[in-house]
Amino acid sequence: MMALLLRDLRLAVRAGGGFGLALAFFLALVTLVAFGTGPEGGLLARIAPGILWVGALLASLLSLDRIFALDWEDGALDLIATSPLPLEGVAAVKALAHWLTTGLPLSLAAPLLGVLLHLPGPAQGWLALSLLAGTPALSAIGTFGAALTVGVRRGGLLLSLLVLPLYVPSLVFGADCVRRAAEGMAPVTPFLLLAGITLGAAALLPFASAAALRAALR
């Protein structure tokens, strides 16, 4: 599993789907929103939780179609499927590699971009925590969507349409957690619900992804 993880990390960087592209998109989106809404700090602070979470969600979509596509194109997926590692483990490793190259860098960079949107100081830490707790679910859901669309030509749009509705609960609870922290309210409840979604996705979706891969490889 470690060898597969290291291989996927190297491929993610070499193929242009690593953290650099996601961070660049995240920065561009936040900057455009700041310029588009004007210099009013109060307005930026009110919309900051939603904008930052939407930006992280959209940035995570950029490399989803590469999770299995590269292995499918060069035939490596067939070899991986016949290896001793079960497909459930393969799906879990793929999701972890995606999170390490997208979700983790976005979570660490988000507080810095929050300063650009005048996000209040108490909410900065909760922003990072909510993204750290919520982005693994985005990667797990994205891996499931990638498994469903593996082998489909130009399946990027279909993949986005499949996973975006499944991203909505994480988006709602993540943005609400940051909003509550910014307004001086208790953010623990939406944070726990967000963490529960991530745990549920991590427990169930590798099996669903493995089933989708088996169907695609028949």
pLDDT at residue 130 greater than cutoff 70: yes
CA 14 to chain centre: 19
For all residues of the chain together, what is the average pLDDT? 88
Please write the tens of the pLDDT for every residue from 162-185.
999 999 999 999 999 999 999 989
Q: Minimal CA–CA distance to 94: which of 11, 167, 15, 26?
A: 11
Q: How far apart are CA 147 and CA 75, in angstroms?
A: 15
pLDDT at 58: 92
CA angle, corner 85, sides to 208 and 63, nearest 5?
55
Q: Where are the domains of the chain?
A: 2-217
pLDDT at 37: 83
pLDDT at 216: 82
Residue 34 burial (10 A CB sphere; 0-12, 13-18, 19+)? middle
pLDDT at 200: 96
Least confident interval from 96-105, 152-161, 191-200: 152-161
Dihedral, CA atoms, 162, 103, 44, 196, nearest 10 degrees? 70
Supply the angle between the helices 104-116 and 19-37 in degrees, to the nearest 10.
20
Residues 6+ apart with CB under 8 A from 89: 1, 206
pLDDT at 215: 87
Q: How far apart are CA 205 and CA 139, in angstroms?
A: 10
pLDDT at 3: 78
Name the residue type at position 63: S
* Distant-in-sequence contacts of 163-168, Cβ < 8 A, 24+ apart: 163/61, 163/64, 164/61, 166/141, 167/57, 167/138, 167/141
pLDDT at 149: 87
Q: How far apart are CA 40 and CA 56, in angstroms?
A: 23
pLDDT at 185: 92
pLDDT at 108: 93
Residue 157 burial (10 A CB sphere; 0-12, 13-18, 19+)? exposed
Highest mean pLDDT: which of 45-49, 59-63, 77-81, 174-178? 174-178
pLDDT at residue 128 greater than cutoff 90: yes
Answer whether 0.85 is exceeded by the pTM: yes
pLDDT band at 201 (very low <50, low <70, confident <90, very high): very high
Percent of the chain with pLDDT over 70: 96
CA 176 to chain centre: 18
pLDDT band at 80 (very low <50, low <70, confident <90, very high): confident
